[in-house]
Chains A and B, each alone.
Chain A
Amino acid sequence: GAVVSQHPSWVICKSGTSVKIECRSLDFQATTMFWYRQFPKQSLMLMATSNEGSKATYEQGVEKDKFLINHASLTLSTLTVTSAHPEDSSFYICSASKAGEGDTQYFGPGTRLTVL
């Protein structure tokens, strides 16, 4: 199998605080991990692409200083939303791809962030 987990599954925080979301590939090594954001009734929007040991590549319009991505190992990537504001409330989903399976992305269950 190819299982990807995310933690936490949901989080509520106060405006101005930082929130860290973890994405783990449980039974495979992920050469690349992707972070998406989805607002209600909208599609998944790619935020950044992350390769182990290197800096993430952010999509246009995504602030890299606000959404910090760390991909320290082949099984773990983290997304930290710094100084969160209500407009950052969204569904954050990660995905991971295996070496040699270029086309397939395995999605985590998502993290629902609510900023009060």
Chain B
Amino acid sequence: RKEVEQDPGPFNVPEGATVAFNCTYSNSASQSFFWYRQDCRKEPKLLMSVYSSGNEDGRFTAQLNRASQYISLLIRDSKLSDSATYLCAVKSGGGKLIFGQGTELSVKP
């Protein structure tokens, strides 16, 4: 079993739709959780850190469920510019970031 697993993509949604991504992790000792956005042939860019209390940044909401070992990302009112690959990442001991395989989102007009 992979240490971090994500929904397989791609997600094709119309503009304005709400889309949710889930990510599960296997190491219960994981300490920090993140969502990254990666555009084609570019490096990943940090979208949000994920906290136990949940956090929101504009149209993006991230949540962490430690008991079930998953994190989620909700995008409301999706824009064409949201089209990208979304990677969840989990930090384990030693500061290593373990990434999920990514979920491709395509927002259509």
Binding site for A on B (CB under 8 A): 32, 41-46, 49, 87, 91, 94-102
Contact = CB atoms under 8 A, between A and B. Distances in A.
Q: Determine the interface band of chain A, counting residues with CB < 8 A from chain B.
A: 20 to 34
B91 A103 contact: yes
Given A44-B44, A44-B87, A104-B46, A49 B97 contact: no
Interface of A: 32, 34, 42-46, 49, 57, 91, 93, 95, 97, 102-105, 107-110, 112
A32 B41 contact: no
Contacts of B49: 103
Contact of A108 (B43, B46, B91, B94): B43
Contacts of A32: 95
Contacts of A112: 41
Nearest to B32: A103
A34 B100 CA distance: 17
Given A43-B87, A43-B101, A97 B43 contact: no
B90 to A, nearest CB: 12
Given A103-B49, A107-B45, A109-B42, 11 more contacts: A32-B95, A34-B96, A34-B97, A42-B102, A43-B87, A43-B101, A43-B102, A44-B87, A57-B94, A97-B95, A108-B43
Nearest to A102: B95
A91 B41 contact: yes
Contacts of A102: 95
**CB-based closest 7 A-B pairs:** A107-B43, A43-B101, A43-B99, A44-B99, A110-B43, A103-B32, A109-B43
